[in-house]
Amino acid sequence: MRKFLLHFTVILIGLTFLGRLSYLQLFEDSFEELSTSNAVKAVYDYPERGYIYDRNGALLVANQPAYDVMVTPREVRPLDTLEFCSLLNIAKEDFIKRYKKARHYSPWRPSVFVAQLSKEEYASLQEKMHKYEGFFIQKRSLRSYKTRSAANVLGYISEVNDFEVGKNPYYQSGELIGRQGVEKSYEEVLRGVKGVKRLQKDRFNRIIGPYKNGIYDTLPEQGKDIHITIDAKLQEYGQMLMNNKRGGIVAIEPASGELLALVSAPSYDPAMLVGRKRSKNFTKLYHDTINIPLFDRGLKAQYPPGSPFKTLNALVALEEGVITPEETITCHHGHYYARGQWMGCHCPSGTRNNMNKGVHQSCNTYFSNVYRRIIDKYQSPKVGIQHWNKHIESFGLGNFLGNDLPTGSRGNVPDSSYYKRMYPRGGWQAVTTISNAIGQGEVLASPIQLANMTAAIANRGFYYTPHIIKNIKEMPIDEKFTTRRRTTISPENFAPVIEGMHNVVEKGTAKIARINGIEVCGKTGTAENFTIIDSLRTQLTDHSIFVAFAPKDDPKIAIAVFIENGYWGSRWAAPIASLMIERYLTGEISRDHLEERMLLGSLEEEYKKPYSGQPFEINQ
Amino acid sequence: MSVNSTSILQRIDWLTILFYFLLVFMGWVNIYSASLNEEATSYFDLSQPYGKQFLFIGMGIVLIVLLLSIETKFYERFSSIIYLISLASLLGLFVFGKTINGATSWYGLGSITLQPSEFAKAATALALAKYLSDMQINMQELKHQVSAFLIIAIPALLIIPQPDPGSALVYGSFFFVLHREGLSGIYLTLGFIAIALFILTLLFGPTYVSIGLLLIVVSFFSWKKRKKKRLSALPYLGTLAVMTAFSFSVNFVFNNVFEQRHRDRFNIVLGKSVDTKGIGYNTNQSQIAIGSGRFSGKGWLEGTQTKGGFVPEQHTDYIFSTVGEEFGFIGAGGVVIVFVLLILRILKLADRQKTQFSRVFGYSVASIIFFHFTINVGMVIGILPTIGIPLPFFSYGGSSLWGFTILLFIFIRLDANRLNEWR
């Protein structure tokens, strides 16, 4: 015992140490992370974000440099404070306050002293910067907008939030990410890939050299420039026409599915969301629940499509063979579609409408009957509505279009299961769903879906998925945007409907949309709509809707215009669509008086009604 | 052929020397890493710690040749004189000492500094070996116990006020030697109980410790009483009173005599306070460095914590954390094993000595290296309080390296001569 006490103790201590080491080095994992986080610093090299051009090569979004004056308090040496303050345009008290704040944050780490200098301030400061040890200028890149319109299309960039940092390991807190529009949908293309330099830090958080001689470092990859399909001039013009109105304009090139204009009103100047005023302006826009300027009405708003939807019912009826273009249906200023159920129409009593006239006079009676024939062709309304639904959905309605913009809405095209939910005990008939005949009721569509539907009609039976990307430098665009998508309607069935749409403009409900020398085909719509005021369902002034394409035999543009509470189709939507078409096809406007009326016209009074707290009249 | 005529090189214990050079070499490799900075020019840059350490090692080899060539009798005959010179050098510090980091422990000779307390250990070991090897000395006798204790305590008492309590604490290791040479086990038992009571008092406070002691003593007494009816309770009560008093006095000393920094160090190790910024910073950072090394380490010169200088005093007292970070569990565990093997080897050699002088000296060498190793590594891996003493052969510093070299090689020289001794 006496002899081996020390031997025993030595071995015991040795084993204790090995046990402790195995705990520290083999079983406890937290030390590795702690080590990396306190000894290695990653410095990122951010590539310049890609520029955005319009379809004609006009620059829409570029970058502008911004300069921050940074300070590392520990490195500051006595300086001529007075001169420095005058260069920065700050008071001496301010200087002391800012310096204290920076010191409080960290004496070792640089922090922002004065943010976002103007170019002039930067120029005069730069020459003298060497005199002020501990201060340096850090360049940052901000977006610079060359257009005042298309904010909804372009989107904006802002700092990532915690959720995004957690979801996507690429982003670090404080980095920028695209939001809305193409900034969001082409984020990865525009952004490029940041480069990283890993640096070894010492215990004072000072950089002492590259980590592992830079073997983990990467070079930044430049962001790519993109061209979008928008025609900036047309977009700007659309925006002007929508002044003091709410709604959306979507214009598509039928031959390619390219979006020529995507106007949402009210909108905002994209430059509002850049620079020092960004967060204040964003809060203002975000909390504007009356105008909801951040809401892209062209993509997201869902409205009952109204009469333009009748063209689809006509096409389905021809395809299903339940009517011929020549067959007439008599309208008695309306009709009873079921016992005691009257549907009004504006045709004079006794009017005999064939398909052409039914379309250009927008006869409710004609389309109610056509719709009933479609549904009743099959053994049950359930089967009938499934066939009808299949045809309608082949025009891109009732689901997301799959376009390359980050928002959208499904819209709605009811099918049998939809009515099963609505009428769980069954018993619904064609007449129960008769509103579908005239685009009211359960059918909902967004302006872009209506524009796409119009493009499909213009193409006589096919469309390309609408898209915003024209080309990306050195990269092909997604194949799905160059693949034709066929509707279920045979091409020969389009002629009578298109003739009808042509007559809408020539002699029908939208003669105001007629343009000399251009064969325009269109269809007006007037959609009832409701809101809830003081928990009461209240009807508001009808929406004004117009879809059109032109020229008739070689369509270059298909357009859908939606004006909220615009009374009726030909009052606002049809003239605006017509002006857009003329502007796009000829580059000028021949009807100055019409243009002036549209530019100056305002519906603000109409929009104030529901908020007035007073009883109000609609459609006056 | 006489045994005496064989070369010393055939008689010295090469295994011990192998361990020695292994530790010295690994020490230098780690000092290089821990003290490397961007101004480094060559491996032997004399303005840098690793360059100086290289020089120290070279001079250490000269010292080894010298030590091995001196006759064994010299160490025995001159042990008292060496001891006295050593005491004088410690005393001289009060007059000529140079203060570094608040401790007046050095003599400054130009750019070189010497720390006499590192050499005093060897001198004390020689003196103790000389005293105990005297035929008339019997460790059972109190008079001799006191003399032996004084030989140990005098240098320790001279070192404490430098102040360098860590180095003084090392003299406690001689109790292992005294115990081996016949000192009653009661001292070690008492020492062990005292340490246990000390830690328990700090952890739970004197009141709970007293209650615990009362329960233990009462149950022990009643258990004894069953066997032996007539048992006096007095010794048991006395023991209880002494231990309770000790516990309370520990509490008093800890809270009133110790300085706050000492209290902090104990509290951190005992887990009573968590502190990663102030005094606990050292221990925390050294554990991060070691823990981040994982199984095989980050590789030589690749340790991020070492490069960043996060661990203070890394090339001296905290050198073991570099081993842990850059060479991982394999490296750190390997160093622990080499130390254990070296100490066991010295003990084995000591036990085969034919003279008591050599045996006592061997035990002293093993005990001192063991004490340093335990306290230093225990501190770096966070299971003992922060006590700044170097890791033998490993830590940067000429005095420390030479002190241990002298200690070890005197013993190797003595061991090489064991066959010539007939006494």
* DSSP states of A387-456: HHHHHHHTTT-SS----SSS-----B---HHHHHHHSTT----TGGGGGGGGT-TT-BB-HHHHHHHHHH
pLDDT of B396 above 50: yes
Output the domain CATH number for residue A442.
Answer: 3.40.710.10
> CA separation (Å) from A451 to A319, A483, B71, B309?
22, 18, 109, 66
CA-closest candidate to residue A301, choices A560, A594, A506, A13: A560
Query: What percent of chain B has a predicted confidence (pLDDT) above 70?
Result: 93
Beta strand spans in B93-186 (E): 98-100, 103-109, 112-114
CA distance B386 to B370: 17
Q: Tell me the shortest Cα–Cα distance from B51 to chain A, in angstroms.
A: 21
Q: What is the mean pLDDT of chain B?
A: 85
Tell me how many domains chain A contains: 2
Q: How many inter-chain contacts (A to B, CB under 8 Å) are there?
A: 126
Question: Which of the listed residues A99, A119, A145 is the one where a domain comes to its end?
Answer: A145
Residue B100 CA to its chain's centroid (Å): 21
CA distance B85 to A219: 66
Q: Which amino acid is at B388?
A: G
Nearest beta carbon to residue B329 from set A26, A39, A209: A26
Q: Do A22 and B304 touch (CB under 8 A)?
A: no
Q: Do A24 and B291 touch (CB under 8 A)?
A: yes
Which residues have a Cβ under 8 Å from the Cβ of A121 and sit 6 or more positions away?
A: A67, A87, A88, A89
Q: Which amino acid is at A169?
A: P
> CA separation (Å) from A574 to A318, A360, A547, A548?
27, 14, 8, 8
CA distance B151 to A212: 53
Mean pLDDT along residues A470-494: 89
Angle between helices B206-227 and B234-252 (to 10 degrees): 170
Mean pLDDT along residues A4-22: 91
Largest CA distance in chain B: 81
Q: Do B308 and A202 touch (CB under 8 A)?
A: yes
Nearest beta carbon to residue A26 from set B285, B295, B343: B295
Q: Do A404 and A272 belong to one domain?
A: yes
Q: What per-residue confidence (pLDDT) applies to B366?
A: 95
pLDDT category of residue B41 using cuts at 50, 70 and 90 = low
Which residues have a Cβ under 8 Å from the Cβ of A222 and sit 6 or more positions away?
A: A47, A48, A50, A192
> Helices in A509-591 by DSSP H: which ranges?
573-586
CA angle A615, A294, A543 (to 5 degrees): 40
Q: What per-residue confidence (pLDDT) applies to B6?
A: 66
Cβ–Cβ contact B381 with A under 8 A: yes
pLDDT of A432 above 70: yes
Which residues have a Cβ under 8 Å from the Cβ of A9 and sit 6 or more positions away?
A: B176, B370
Question: Which of the listed residues A145, A160, A179 is the one where a domain comes to its end?
Answer: A145
Through-space distance between the first and last CA atoms of chain B, rounded to whole angstroms: 22
DSSP A476: P
Name residue A117's beta-bridge partners.
Answer: A67
**Interface test with chain A among B287, B288, B301, by most A beta carbons within 10 Å:** B288
Asked, for residue A156, whether it belongs to a domain, the answer is: no
Largest CA distance in chain A: 128
CA distance B276 to B6: 59
Task: Identify how many contiguous H helices and E strands chain A contains and give both numbers.
Answer: 22, 20
For chain A, what is the radius of gyration of the CA atoms?
33
What are the two backbone dihedrals, phi and then psi, of residue A28, each rounded to the nearest 5 degrees? -95, 120
**Which range (A293-297, B37-41, B271-275) has the least confidence?**
B271-275
What are the two backbone dihedrals, phi and then psi, of residue A575, each rounded to the nearest 5 degrees? -60, -40
Q: Is A116 left (phi over 0), alpha (psi -120 to 50) or beta?
A: left
Q: What is the pLDDT of residues B85-140, one digit of tens each?
A: 999 999 999 888 888 877 888 888 777 789 999 999 999 999 999 999 887 888 88
- Domain residues for A136? 65-145
What are the two backbone dihedrals, phi and then psi, of residue B413, each rounded to the nearest 5 degrees? -65, -45
pLDDT category of residue B421 using cuts at 50, 70 and 90 = low
Asked, for residue A32, whether it belongs to a domain, the answer is: no
DSSP A221: B
Interface of B with A in 211-250 (CB under 8 A): none
CA distance B134 to B143: 14
Task: Name the pTM for this structure.
Answer: 0.62
CA distance B57 to B51: 10
Q: Tell me the shortest Cα–Cα distance from A96 to chain B, in angstroms.
A: 29
Q: Which amino acid is at B358?
A: S
Asked, for residue A120, whether it belongs to a domain, the answer is: yes
Q: Which residues from chain A sit within 8 angstroms of residue B188, using beta carbons? A: 5
Q: Do B304 and A203 touch (CB under 8 A)?
A: no
Name residue A352's beta-bridge partners.
Answer: A330
pLDDT of B64 above 50: yes
Q: What per-residue confidence (pLDDT) applies to B272?
A: 60
**Which helix (H) or strand (E) covers residue B35, if one does?**
helix B14-35
pLDDT category of residue A98 using cuts at 50, 70 and 90 = confident
pLDDT category of residue A484 using cuts at 50, 70 and 90 = very high
> Are B123 and B85 spatial neighbours (Cβ–Cβ below 8 Å)?
yes
**Which range (A203-207, A554-558, B218-222, B246-250) has the least confidence?**
A203-207
Q: Which residues from chain A sit within 8 angstroms of residue B304, using beta carbons? A: 35-36, 39-40, 200, 211
Q: What is the pLDDT of residues A29-54, one digit of tens each?
A: 777 777 776 677 777 778 889 999 99
Q: Do B377 and A18 touch (CB under 8 A)?
A: no
pLDDT of A276 above 70: no
Q: Do B292 and A30 touch (CB under 8 A)?
A: no
Strands A462-464 and A156-159: unpaired
CA-closest candidate to residue A411, choices A385, A450, A456: A450
Q: Is A156 helix (H, G, I), strand (E, B) or coil?
A: strand
pLDDT of B143 above 60: yes
Q: How many CB atoms lie within 10 A of CB B289?
A: 32
pLDDT category of residue A192 using cuts at 50, 70 and 90 = confident
CA distance B354 to A438: 119
Question: Which of the listed residues A127, A145, A163 is the one where a domain comes to its end?
Answer: A145
CA-closest candidate to residue A38, choices A182, A205, A183, A156: A205
Q: What per-residue confidence (pLDDT) applies to B273?
A: 60
Which residues have a Cβ under 8 Å from the Cβ of A406 and sit 6 or more positions away?
A: A155, A180, A181, A184, A185
Angle between helices B398-416 and B319-351 (to 10 degrees): 20
Output the domain CATH number for residue A74.
Answer: 3.30.1390
CA distance A181 to A235: 14
**B60: exposed, middle or buried (C-beta count within 10 Å: 0-12, 13-18, 19+)?**
buried
**Interface test with chain A among B336, B367, B372, by most A beta carbons within 10 Å:** B336
> Are B90 and B168 spatial neighbours (Cβ–Cβ below 8 Å)?
no
pLDDT of A176 above 50: yes
- Its ipTM equals 0.88
Q: Which residues from chain A sit within 8 angstroms of residue B340, using beta carbons? A: 10-11, 13-14
| Domain regions of chain B by residue span | 12-69+272-395+410-423, 91-183, 185-257
Q: Do A25 and B332 touch (CB under 8 A)?
A: yes
Q: Do A137 and A244 belong to one domain?
A: no
Interface of B with A in 260-299 (CB under 8 A): 285, 287-295
Q: Is A306 helix (H, G, I), strand (E, B) or coil?
A: coil
pLDDT of A565 above 70: yes
Q: Select the more confidently predicted residue: A422 or B5.
A: A422
Mean pLDDT along residues B160-172: 84
pLDDT category of residue B1 using cuts at 50, 70 and 90 = very low
pLDDT category of residue A212 using cuts at 50, 70 and 90 = low
Asked, for residue A177, whether it belongs to a domain, the answer is: no
Q: Is A613 left (phi over 0), alpha (psi -120 to 50) or beta?
A: left
Residue A14 CA to its chain's centroid (Å): 68
Q: Do A544 and A396 belong to one domain?
A: yes
Q: What per-residue confidence (pLDDT) applies to A461?
A: 93
Q: Do A117 and A254 belong to one domain?
A: no
Q: Select the more confidently predicted residue: A42 or A445.
A: A445
Q: What is the pLDDT of residues A100-132, one digit of tens each?
A: 888 887 777 777 788 777 777 788 888 888 888
CA distance A557 to A241: 18
Nearest beta carbon to residue B288 from set A34, A40, A202: A34
Q: Do A272 and A126 belong to one domain?
A: no
Q: Which residues from chain A sit within 8 angstroms of residue B292, using beta carbons? A: 31-32, 34-36
pLDDT of B301 above 50: yes
Q: What is the pLDDT of residues B315-326, one digit of tens each?
A: 888 999 999 999
Q: What is the pLDDT of residues B7-26, one digit of tens each?
A: 778 888 999 999 999 999 99
CA angle B190, B196, B197 (to 5 degrees): 90
Q: What per-residue confidence (pLDDT) applies to B19?
A: 95
Q: Tell me the shortest Cα–Cα distance from A198 to chain B, in angstroms.
A: 12
Q: Which residues from chain B sit within 8 angstroms of residue A11, using beta carbons? A: 340, 344
Beta strand spans in A465-535 (E): 469-472, 484-486, 521-533
> Helices in A91-131 by DSSP H: which ranges?
92-105, 119-126
> CA separation (Å) from A255 to A458, A500, A528, A554, A556?
9, 22, 33, 9, 7
Mean pLDDT along residues A163-177: 79
> Are B16 and B408 spatial neighbours (Cβ–Cβ below 8 Å)?
yes
Asked, for residue A313, whether it belongs to a domain, the answer is: yes
**Residue A492, both tokens:** 């020969």
Minimum Cα–Cα distance from B294: chain A residue: A25
pLDDT category of residue A233 using cuts at 50, 70 and 90 = very high
**Top-ranked range on mean pLDDT: pick from A33-42, A353-362, A401-410:** A353-362
Query: What percent of chain A has a predicted confidence (pLDDT) above 70?
Result: 97
Mean pLDDT along residues B412-419: 86
Q: Which residues of A touch B (CB under 8 A)?
A: 2-3, 5-7, 9-11, 13-14, 16-18, 20-22, 24-26, 28, 30-32, 34-36, 38-40, 200-203, 208-209, 211-212
